[in-house]
Amino acid sequence: MGLRHSQKCARIRSLSEGGTVLTIGDDDISDPDDKLGIKKLHVAYVGTALVVKYQYHPEFRFVPGFDGNYTFAIPPNKDRSYEYLIFAAWSEGSVLKNTNEFKDYVIRSAREYNNPITVIFRFDVPVEKKIVL
């Protein structure tokens, strides 16, 4: 199984760490209403990221086709399924307006995603009763 992440806007930097791939760079955004694709908005920063859980043993690979792509090869499991997160932000957004904020957010979220808080409720433990006089 595999999962693709485009490196088109990775003119500034990219990061591959464990099951995380991050690309950050400037880009020209096309106007969706412009059928000829002439109208473009230059954006100082566009960031995208992909996180695959460690438990699926993602293997990072670079594929030069389609203008370059970052991929993860994932060994198939019994269910032939896997879990992942996708992130995106840009300099024109309301949050994560710069590259460092975006990178820090992705790395922190990847750690949390791979290490969720686990709560165990035990109902077989007797509850102590106290009487207040």
pLDDT band for position 7 (50/70/90)? low
Query: 2 pLDDT exceeds 50?
Result: no
Q: What is the pLDDT of residue 15?
A: 63
Question: What does the DSSP 8-state code read for residue 97?
Answer: -
pLDDT in tens, 118-128: 888 877 777 67
Higher pLDDT, 90 or 10: 90
Mind spelling out the 3-state secondary structure of 57-81?
Answer: CCEEEEECCCCCEEEEECCCCCCCC
Percent of all residues in the chain with a pLDDT value above 70, rounded to a whole number: 81
Query: 1 pLDDT exceeds 50?
Result: no
Higher pLDDT, 129 or 111: 111
pLDDT in tens, 42-89: 888 888 899 999 889 888 888 887 677 777 888 999 998 999 999 999
What beta strand segments (E) does the chain contain? 2-6, 13-17, 20-30, 40-52, 59-63, 69-73, 84-90
